[in-house]
Amino acid sequence: MNWYILNLDNVSATYCFTVYWSGAGILQNQLEMACVLVVMQGKKEIAERILAVAEQRGADKSTCPSEIARMLFPGHWREQMAAVMEVAIDLCNNGKILITQKGKEVDVKKIKGPVRIKQVLG
């Protein structure tokens, strides 16, 4: 006899399934795929908000990543900052936004301290 307990937690901006089962099979694969889809949807929502806010502010103004987190996760935005930064870095690496410190573009591999998100010129 197989038994399954599924717990969906929102932890550190990542939606994670905790699955306990005896035996393996198709349910395990379905749960793993569902977890991947939920994480991808969360990152897509963050990316869309970052891009929308950057476009709304224009190339002359910037936004703090915490503003994005507060918009999307008002009750627990601090726990979501890692995910917001991860998505922002991905967008920056793909040339969709700029990440700056003190008004200058920063190497995203060496971020220390507060940063701002800006729309790419042109």
Positive or negative, the Cα torsion across 22, 26, 29, 34?
negative
Tokens of 13: 């901006």
What is the reported pTM? 0.72
- Report pLDDT digits (tens) over 39-86: 667 889 999 999 999 999 998 999 999 999 999 989 888 988 999 999
Tokens of 117: 């998100």
* Radius of gyration for the alpha carbons in the chain, expressed in angstroms and rounded: 18
Mean pLDDT computed over every residue of the chain: 79
So what's the architecture of 4-119 in CATH?
Orthogonal Bundle (1.10)
Could you give the CA distance from residue 107 to residue 26 in angstroms, rounded to a whole number? 43
User: In sequence order, what DSSP letters do the residues of 55-88 get, joined into one string?
Assistant: HHH-TT-EE-HHHHHHHH-TTSTGGGHHHHHHHH
User: Both ends of the chain: CA-CA distance in Å?
Assistant: 61
- Report pLDDT digits (tens) over 2-53: 444 444 444 433 444 444 444 555 566 666 666 665 666 788 999 999 999 9
Please tell me the number of Cα atoms within 13 Å of 72 on its side-chain side: 24
